[in-house]
Structure 1
Amino acid sequence: MSKNPRQTGKKAASAAAKVLANPKSTKAEKSAAASALSQTPSKKK
């Protein structure tokens, strides 16, 4: 089990980004995708 189970994995985040970029995605799809992306770990610089 991961240390923080509320983080979205890289593959799911990538799929969510594609949904948001697709102009044909429904409002519900975009809402779910945005929720998934809001739970991705922040990138360290």
Structure 2
Amino acid sequence: MILYTIKKIRDIRGKMNIEKDDVIIVLLIIILLLIVIGFFRLFYTVPR
């Protein structure tokens, strides 16, 4: 059981290094979503 938990900790540490790149991707997605929401608000607020 102890060896299994040590392996899990090592896997988490290995994933942390990968997640540094994932954080950048997530930030880019959030920025794109904000831009899309901004465009939708502009189109909805335009008087017809």
Q: TM-score range by the shorter chain?
A: 0.3 to 0.5
Structure with larger Rg = 2
Greater relative contact order (Cα < 8 A, sep 6+): 1
Between structures 1 and 2, the one with greater helix share: 2
TM-score (norm 1): 0.35
TM-score (norm 2): 0.33
